[in-house]
Amino acid sequence: MLLCIAVSSCAVSPTGDKLYITNPNQHKLLILARDGSVLVTFSDPALAWPTGVNVTPSGQVLVCVGLYPNYYIIQLDSYSYS
């Protein structure tokens, strides 16, 4: 059986103008505009198996990455991650 997961999780920015989508199979985070156009495709070795995404009220983007039992959280900003 072939299992293909295109979207693992999604979150909306506090202003409602951006949608953040994780794609664990391609190790990417996509940021879409309200009209569905792709604003940013974030791909990095640190983003291995992104399984969750959350945007805080202040706009911080937090991504849960990894595979069980080794999960960790990375915080993204406009220029990098930590």
Structural domains for the chain: 9-76 (2.40.10)
13: pLDDT strictly greater than 80? yes
82: pLDDT strictly greater than 60? no
Predicted confidence at residue 1, as pLDDT, reads 46
**Cβ atoms of residues 76 and 31 within 8 Å:** no
Taking the C-alpha atoms of residue 52 and residue 9, their distance in angstroms, rounded to an integer, is 5
Q: How many CB atoms lie within 10 A of CB 12?
A: 12
Is pTM beyond 0.85 here? no
- Which amino acid, one-letter code, is at 4? C
24-57 residue pLDDT tens: 888 889 999 999 999 989 888 888 889 899 999 9
